[in-house]
Amino acid sequence: MSRLFDCILADATVVNEDGAGERDIGVLDGKIAEIGDLRSASAGERLDCRGLHILPGVIDSHVHFREPGLTHKEDLETGSRAAALGGVTAVFEMPNTDPPTTSAKALADKVARATGRMHCDFAFWVGGTYENIAEISELERLPGAAGIKVFMGSSTGKLLTPDDAGVLAILKATRRRAAFHSEDEARLNERKNLRVAGDPSSHPVWRDEIVALRCTERLIRLARQARAQVHVLHVSTREEIPLLQGAKDVASCEATSHHLTLSADDYVRLGTKLQMNPPVRGAEHREGIWRALAQGVIDVIGSDHAPHTLEEKARPYPESPSGMTGVQTLVPIMLDHVAAGRLTLQRLVDLTSAGPARLFGVVGKGRIAAGYDADFTIVDLKRRETIRDSWIASRCGWTPYDGREVVGWPVGTFVRGRRVMWEGEIVTPAQGAAVRFA
C-alpha neighbours within 13 Å on the C-beta side of residue 224: 10
Please give the distance of CA 352 from its chain centroid, rounded to a whole number. Answer: 8
* C-beta separation of 254 from 61 below 8 A: yes
What is the distance between the alpha carbons of residues 430 and 413, in angstroms, rounded to a whole number?
A: 13
Give the count of beta carbons closer than 10 Å to the beta carbon of residue 48.
11
Cβ neighbors of 248 (< 8 A, separation 6 or more) are: none
Bridge partners, residue 149, by sequence: 127, 179
Question: Which residue type does 163 have?
Answer: D
What is the distance between the alpha carbons of residues 437 and 362, in angstroms, rounded to a whole number?
A: 5
Q: Catalytic positions, please?
A: 304
Question: Which H helix or E strand runs over 93?
Answer: strand 88-93
What is the distance between the alpha carbons of residues 280 and 273, in angstroms, rounded to a whole number?
A: 11
What is the distance between the alpha carbons of residues 98 and 158, in angstroms, rounded to a whole number?
A: 9
3-state secondary structure of 24: strand
Q: How far is CA 336 from CA 4, 13, 324, in A?
A: 37, 18, 19
What is the distance between the alpha carbons of residues 337 and 377, in angstroms, rounded to a whole number?
A: 17
What is the distance between the alpha carbons of residues 359 and 61, in angstroms, rounded to a whole number?
A: 10
> CA angle, 228 as apex, 227 and 231 as ends, to 5°?
145
* C-beta separation of 270 from 317 below 8 A: no
What is the distance between the alpha carbons of residues 158 and 254, in angstroms, rounded to a whole number?
A: 23
Going by the DSSP 8-state scheme, the letter that residue 391 receives in this structure is: G
* C-beta separation of 222 from 171 below 8 A: yes
Question: Which residue type does 228 have?
Answer: A
Give the count of beta carbons closer than 10 Å to the beta carbon of residue 21.
11
